[in-house]
Structure 1
Amino acid sequence: MTSQCRHSNPHPPPPPPRFPPLPLALGGGAAGGGGAARVTWWRRPRGGGRCLHMHVTAAVLALVTVTSVPLLQALGRRLLSMATPPPPVPTAVPSDPGDLSAAFVTCPNETVAKELARAMVEKRLAACVNILPHVTSIYSWQGKLEEDGEVLLMIKTRSSRVPALAAFVRSAHPYEVPEVVAVPVTQGNPPYLQWVRDSTDP
């Protein structure tokens, strides 16, 4: 609210700073029970005479403070997030050489493949066995060229478990000389590799 008036004293006391600091406690309001407190800014125009009284209620000052501080804080957080680089994305890291292996076993049909796969996992010889059907194998056996339809098992296990895996396959496989080959796993998803280790820990 702005009003104009004349003063009996043509030279009133020096006015306070044009933009006085915001009081820490303005009082009044609903909590104080005395109504909204007011802060008066005095401004005397050049040449004397009339002066202007600017009355700013505590509610208005509080509104400016409450709305400005969160905006400044949000702006600060935004600028900080723009200046701070994002955290690095986890990438696959090489495991210990020879720590884990992927083994392969061929089977004559899907029934045999599932029986072997279940037994491998139950005996903790494998963490996971993938069954790939409809594999065509061309190989040499006893001096003859052979071609057969087979099912392939892809087995994830510890390298230290491969000898026990091979011994199990020899004892349970219907072939006279079953295939068991393994290659080391040197890279992969670290949580998955750790799961393979945990699942094949004897």
Structure 2
Amino acid sequence: MKKLLFIFILLVSATFNWAQTDEVLEPNTEIELSIEATDTLLLDASTENVISSDSTGINKEIFKNLKAHAKPEGLKITWSLDYEVYNQLTDKQIVIKYNTKIGAKRNKSGYEGSDWKFTKPIDLNETSFEIKDLQGAEKYIVHVGLVDITEGDEITTDSDVVWSDKIKAKTERGWGLMKLLILIG
């Protein structure tokens, strides 16, 4: 009986909604016009894209799927690169810079002792990197970047690097006295 009542209410509400709607062809014509306008915009954009692909348009949009996974007193950073631009990156390497959230704010304000830390350059084929020996239960800001091979192993803030958007992460607390006391209860 409940099923029959449910179906009856469903049919009545569908009929009521259908009866109150007017058929208007204007939205269809608007959609057709917007599709035509979009097609011309896509054509214009595709001609610009051909021109800009010759001059290497490497920017922060090349990095996809940026994520940070918490580890005990460390972070595992994963990323992927845009496959359309990958062939243009033969002379590039990946580098990661990281700082605590407070340290990043202090560095931006110009305080000393809160400098960004950099990893050694990573091969372009790698898609993850684990940073170890960090402070446990601390918030970090991480950026993944592309740097020329000619920069070598020493990356500084003056190096010419294309940085990704920031990745926020928090490390897990490592084993210590506090965790041991909590475990004992």
With the length of structure 1 as denominator, give the TM-score of the two structures: 0.22
Q: Which has the higher strand share?
A: 1
- Bigger Rg, structure 1 or 2: 1
What TM-score does the superposition give when structure 2 sets the normalisation length? 0.23
Larger helix proportion of the pair: 2
